[in-house]
Structure 1
């Protein structure tokens, strides 16, 4: 089971102005859904003022106590089975992806780890009506600082670990899937390489030219549209289509 990790409180004046792309995306996911931008601005100041206690990162949750009283948490859903399989497949394409993550960099190919708009849920014991409140916003900013230094924390937040990812990549490379199938659809799926290798079948014979008299369906025109003009435009379109078919 993936274990929680604890981090010391950031000291006063720990403001960070430059973020990694994944730290920036984390903050964007919070700010773009904020009800009150004033609360997020106050949260940014709180993050820099050293009012947040030690931070605990656990599967699906990052939590801290602010000002010694407000219990604040930000939650994010764990990766689904399909999302995890897609992440493992992407990470298996190049060995450099895993090496980069171990070295403290998150490749864009693994962007599925980063929460998007609407993926973060704030909880706090304060009386603020905003979502997130200033305390949860502050926690989000400091969490981004942690993610800047260690993007593997995104794996922990998503309910996984580096050990699981490493093992899954090794398994994927040792036993690559023959084809991808929908578990709800028993019909086998053809690999793309196999499909492209097949010869192109001949086109079917063109339909015989129309010889009967032109007849259009009677359709009630919308309000404000001249019925005669609509019929004439349809007749012109059908006639041109017939000429194009006849000409091959």
Structure 2
């Protein structure tokens, strides 16, 4: 009599080392497999025996084929037994529903290729009427020790199987009736006509993360054309409603933040669409004081300016100076405004050389140095050396040093700005 499984796809996994000091299932789907065993076994002592045998490395190579797993398990007295565990294969109709479900969401395919089985994949399959993971009583034991229920040998095989499932959920799909290559080929076949006939949506990638979009390259329509930059930032939604604000919600602050968010989005889009634009590294996270200045840019007279100043330890005038610095050079300019540091010897030598060569000897201004700042003696102008070696122009206004322009590589250019010369 021929073996009914001889033409079936089969994978054989070498015996795993003992599992001392670790659990058998690290993934949630591996744990679900073991739960199906532990909930159904009538003799809990046999389950414990199987766990001990598997932990000791008594399970040999595991053969996995549709509907069945097989291994030789040795008792403590070295007696070998053939253990099998059966799991019902999915019907053709169930596989059709599963495959249709999988191509509906490219993330399912991406997850399987990453050797993962996320809960939403199993949940979506269940919604389609396909149970991937075994439930109570689904793991049917067969052993040559003649036990009528799960014995220590079949339990040991199930524990070993949980370790294999941790590594590769395609093993479960093979038990359900499809080998990995066959499954991926069928998904590809279904994806092609889907891509050809699917209606083109305005936003086909909306709400999809990067992994799903990448996996959907052959399924979804091409990415849409680059957006057109609006002439001005969009208007936030109106907060003028009959209902009063919820406790703790300040409508003025919320409207301000919405407006600032629209402006920042418009700025970022304009930068991204600029010809020759290259992505820049993400800046370090701003402190609360720095972010208060960023929010106040473009709205220094907002009724929230005092709150932004107080929240960052600045008075109204100090916030205004911070806004001016930010407009000239962002967080770097703000740091130059508010911080003073000792210049390293090598940088200091280059700075002095730049100051020496910037003017003819008879035109060179008299400067008094203090750390990273050079002040014109008897004047109202100052140069500040930034951490990148550029010079920032400052002028004294109402008793405070205020930034008056962007940084320059040449100290003479920066000083001309500080003194009010074009």
Q: Name the TM-score class by shorter chain.
A: 0.5 to 0.7
Q: Is the 8 A contact 1:2 1:161 kept in 2?
A: no
Match of 1:135 among 134, 153, 163: 153
| TM-score, length-scaled by structure 2 | 0.39
Correspondence for 1:116: 135
Q: Is the 8 A contact 2:73 2:156 kept in 1?
A: no
Correspondence for 2:105: 94
Q: Is the 8 A contact 1:11 1:50 kept in 2?
A: yes
| TM-score, length-scaled by structure 1 | 0.65
Higher mean C-alpha deviation, range 119-128 or range 45-54:
119-128
Correspondence for 2:175: 157
Q: Write the distance in 2 (CA, Å) between the matches of 1:127 and 1:2.
A: 26
Q: Once the 2 structures are TM-superposed, how far is the Cα of residue 16 of structure 1 from its aligned partner?
A: 3.7
Q: Write the distance in 2 (CA, Å) between the matches of 1:16 and 1:89.
A: 38
Q: Would you say 1:171 and 2:189 are equivalent positions?
A: yes
Q: Once the 2 structures are TM-superposed, how far is the Cα of residue 33 of structure 1 from its aligned partner?
A: 0.8
Q: Cα–Cα, structure 1 residues 151 and 98, in superposed 2: closer, same or farther, change >3 Å? A: same
Q: Would you say 1:125 and 2:137 are equivalent positions?
A: no
Q: Would you say 1:52 and 2:59 are equivalent positions?
A: yes
Q: Write the distance in 2 (CA, Å) between the matches of 1:140 and 1:50.
A: 13
Q: Is the 8 A contact 1:23 1:147 kept in 2?
A: yes
Q: Once the 2 structures are TM-superposed, how far is the Cα of residue 14 of structure 1 from its aligned partner?
A: 4.5
Q: Is the 8 A contact 2:20 2:55 kept in 1?
A: yes
Q: Cα–Cα, structure 1 residues 15 and 45, in superposed 2: closer, same or farther, change >3 Å? A: farther
Q: Write the distance in 2 (CA, Å) between the matches of 1:151 and 1:134.
A: 24
Secondary structure of 2:40's partner? coil
Q: Once the 2 structures are TM-superposed, how far is the Cα of residue 132 of structure 1 from its aligned partner?
A: 0.7
Q: Max radius of gyration: which structure?
A: 2
Correspondence for 1:4: 10
Q: Is the 8 A contact 1:100 1:106 kept in 2?
A: yes
Q: Write the distance in 2 (CA, Å) between the matches of 1:53 and 1:167.
A: 31
Q: Once the 2 structures are TM-superposed, how far is the Cα of residue 2 of structure 1 from its aligned partner?
A: 4.8
Q: Write the distance in 2 (CA, Å) between the matches of 1:43 and 1:63.
A: 15
Point out which structure has higher relative CO (alpha carbons under 8 A, 6+ apart).
1
Q: Once the 2 structures are TM-superposed, how far is the Cα of residue 161 of structure 1 from its aligned partner?
A: 1.9
Please give the residue correspondences for 1:67-82 in structure 2 after superposition, counting only pairs within 5 Å.
67=74, 69-82=80-93
Gaps of 5+ in 1: 179-248
Q: Cα–Cα, structure 1 residues 49 and 160, in superposed 2: closer, same or farther, change >3 Å? A: same
Gaps of 5+ in 2: 1-6, 123-130, 198-422
Q: Once the 2 structures are TM-superposed, how far is the Cα of residue 59 of structure 1 from its aligned partner?
A: 1.4
Q: In the comparison of the two structures, how many residue pairs are matched?
A: 176
Q: Would you say 1:27 and 2:34 are equivalent positions?
A: yes
Q: Write the distance in 2 (CA, Å) between the matches of 1:102 and 1:14.
A: 29
Q: Once the 2 structures are TM-superposed, how far is the Cα of residue 128 of structure 1 from its aligned partner?
A: 3.7
Q: Write the distance in 2 (CA, Å) between the matches of 1:167 and 1:109.
A: 22
Listed one character per residue, the Cα deviations across residues 60-95 of structure 1 (whole Å, up to 9, x for unaligned) are 111111115211010111111221122112211221
Runs of 4+ more than 4 Å apart: none
Correspondence for 1:211: none
Q: Once the 2 structures are TM-superposed, how far is the Cα of residue 9 of structure 1 from its aligned partner?
A: 1.1
